[in-house]
Amino acid sequence: MTEPVAASGIGGLAWLLLALPAFGAAVLLLGGKRTDKWGHLLGTATVVGAFAYGLVLFFDTLGLDPEKRTSELHLFDWVPVEALDVEFGLRLDPLSLTFVLLITGVGSLIHVYSIGYMAHEAGRRRFFAYLNLFVAAMLLLVLGNGFVTLYFGWEGVGLASYLLIGWYQYKPEAASAAKKAFLMNRVGDLGLAIAIFILFKELGTTQYTEVFARVGELSAAEVTAVTLLLLLGACGKSGQFPLQAWLPDAMAGPTPVSALIHAATMVTAGVYLIARSNPLYNLSADGRLVVMCIGGFTLLIGCLIGCAYDDFKKVLAYSTVSQIGYMILAVGLGPVGYALGIMHLLTHGFFKAGLFLGAGSVMHGMNDEGDIRRMGGLARKMPITFVTWTLGYLALIGFPFLSGYFSKDAIIAAAFSEHGWRGWVFGGVAALGAAITAFYMTRLLILVFLGKARWTDLKSADGRDYHPHESPASMTVPMIVLAFGSVAAGFLFSTGDNLAGWLEPSLGALQEQHGVLDHTAVNFLVLGLSALGVVVAWLVFGRRPQPVQRPLRVSFPVRAARADLYGNALNEVLFARPGTWLTRALVFVDNKGVDGLVNGTAALLGGSSGRLRRLQTGFVRSYALSMLLGTIFVLGALLAVRFS
């Protein structure tokens, strides 16, 4: 990793990346209803402006020699307290600039799409304010030059996601999903916070440059502990096992929110954290092994559950869980996979954003219907949505020469390049995931766009007939742009190691090794498995009429998948109920113990003073009698002490 230099020239204005969306959020929130008519335009313009500046910064950095591509911009001293001296600065290097382009580029398209999608939504300018806040927090997360600055952006993303997921707060499922996302992310945040505490205690700093330069001073146990705690933080933000349950529930928010969270921003934060901390993971083989196990297990459960859902967006949500699993598996491979994980993150940003925006377009034309069993035959009614969505689908399942073919298959090949049992286990799981992904995504394509239209004799939940129609240009144009990325991004990134070479100053050189299967064999294996998944899905769902109602009598594996493989039930038993019981016990102790002691003391003093007040009769004889009795008591006490 190269040493950073002080940012100068165009890099000296990098604070604009944060300031633009933050300014938009501030104006829209403080301006109130006066910004209703133009607030959505301001919100979109700020993110587009950040993207334009990011492009200029990217090309300026690209023209430098690799050893000069890392720079830092000092803004101010943030926390100068005793030994804790935290600088608030920005780190401009290939990794952070890559994320800047992804966040602002895909984020801009989602903002444009939201103009049409949220056109009739009350409080639209507030929605754009939250989007701006989300983008600003995510940019701070990836641009911060230390773990504390990253944590600040990390929490900002959590707050903005809570506001956006709970946008329809009057719906119980939306309010519950927002709280669930917020609470489950706090579990991961605790791990990240403890990791930062350990780094500060052992090294006296939390700045990237100093931590990575002195990581050799940590013992092996400390490095492993820090990597596992960072992984816990990554699991929370990126929806990985055991903290994946919030991600599908987050579909209760508006579709642009789903696209923003799943494609370009929040779920990628965990992958970024591990990739950014690569000097730590390079020193801990145990830490990397746990990361690989979490990634492999999560990608498999995401695929299995995705097969059983009938909600359009939730199927896509579980595909995100599995695809992020691929990325986590890749960065767990270490120098063999860091750049591959980032490449899949970028291609996934294109095709997953396109898939979600396509789902929103379908729901927009179908009276907000999300049940894929009530769809069918929509390809003829919504041709632009169908074509762009299908290109995203093909990229996701790894169709030859589309984006996913280059990025996902490269991860599977890297997993098979491990030696011994690791190669067979992790490579096998990744290849099996490709087959299952092809199956459930083909099922989704068939039930939504192909076959017989099942909506003709039905009515939507609000009693209206279905009249599916194509979406306006403000929604279809972003989908078309993303479709181009779904087709070409993988080829551009992988040709001549374009992306791996660009990321080398941040992640080190991409290493190759030969394990249990060579790349050619892996390519044929994955293509064969994916084709098998498509054929099986066609035989099951394409050749026979599909019922509108979900079949109730199903096998145990389907019941288990419909119940999220009992992940929610497990969380309920292990965490929610014990937490409820603990809370009730603490409330009881507080009411009967702490409050009881305070209230009892007050009652005792109050009662005693009331009784003593009765002695104040105003008669001299009563006071004389009291003095006599007091004198007798004192004399008695003195005599008792004297002769004891």
In this model, does residue 576 exceed pLDDT 80?
A: no
**Closest residue by Cα to residue 482 from 321, 350, 617, 288:** 350
Helix (H, G, I), strand (E, B) or coil at 74: strand
Phi and psi torsions of 31, nearest 5°: -75, -20
* 400 cis-preceded (ω within 30 degrees of 0): no
CA 108 – CA 302 distance, rounded (Å): 28
Q: Give the model's pLDDT for residue 67.
A: 87
* Residue-level pLDDT at 572: 79
Query: Which range among 95-99, 208-212, 579-583 shows the weakest confidence by mean pLDDT?
Result: 579-583
Please name which of 343, 433, 359 lies closest in space to residue 392, comparing C-alpha atoms.
359
Contact 128, 141 (CB under 8 A): no
DSSP single-letter state for residue 551: P
In this predicted model, what pLDDT tens digit does every residue of 319-353 receive, in sequence order? 999 999 999 999 999 999 999 999 999 999 999 99
> 73 phi and psi, to 5 degrees?
-115, 110
pLDDT reading at 264 higher than 70: no
Residue 507: in which H helix or E strand, if any?
A: helix 498-507
Q: Return the pLDDT at 224.
A: 96
| 3-state SS, one letter per residue, for 11-74 | HHHCHHHHHHHHHHHHHHHHHHHHHCCCHHHHHHHHHHHHHHHHHHHHHHHHCCCHHHCCEEEE
pLDDT of the residue at 1: 63
**Lowest pLDDT segment from 51-60, 97-106, 355-364, 564-573:** 564-573
Mean pLDDT across the stretch 449-466?
A: 88
Q: How many residues does the chain have?
A: 644
Query: DSSP states of 250-306 as a string?
Result: GGGS-HHHHHIIIIISGGGHHHHHHHHTHHHHTT-HHHHHHHHHHHHHHHHHHHHHH
Q: Provide the pLDDT confidence category of residue 80 given band limits of 50, 70 and 90.
A: confident
Q: So what's the pLDDT on residue 628?
A: 87
Is residue 617 predicted with pLDDT exceeding 90? no
pLDDT of 435: 96
Alpha helices in 509-550 (DSSP H): 519-537
pLDDT, residue 4, reads: 82
Strands laid side by side in the 5-6 sheet: 5-6, 71-81, 84-92
Q: Which of 82, 89, 80, 134 is nearest to 110 (CA)?
A: 134
Q: What is the pLDDT of residue 388?
A: 96
Model pLDDT for residues 394-448, shown as the tens digit of each residue: 999 999 999 999 999 999 999 999 988 999 999 999 999 999 999 999 999 999 9
Taking 90 as the threshold, does the pLDDT of residue 41 lie above it? yes
What is the per-residue pLDDT for 539?
95
Per-residue tokens: 332: 């767990």
- Calculate ∠ Cα 157-159-160, nearest 5°: 65
Q: What are the C-alpha distances in Å from 234 to residues 271, 462, 489?
A: 7, 40, 25
Of 557, 393, 388, which is closest to residue 476 (Cα–Cα)? 388
Considering only CA atoms, which of 155, 276, 287 is closest in space to residue 209? 276
Identify the sign of the CA torsion 364, 368, 372, 374.
Answer: negative
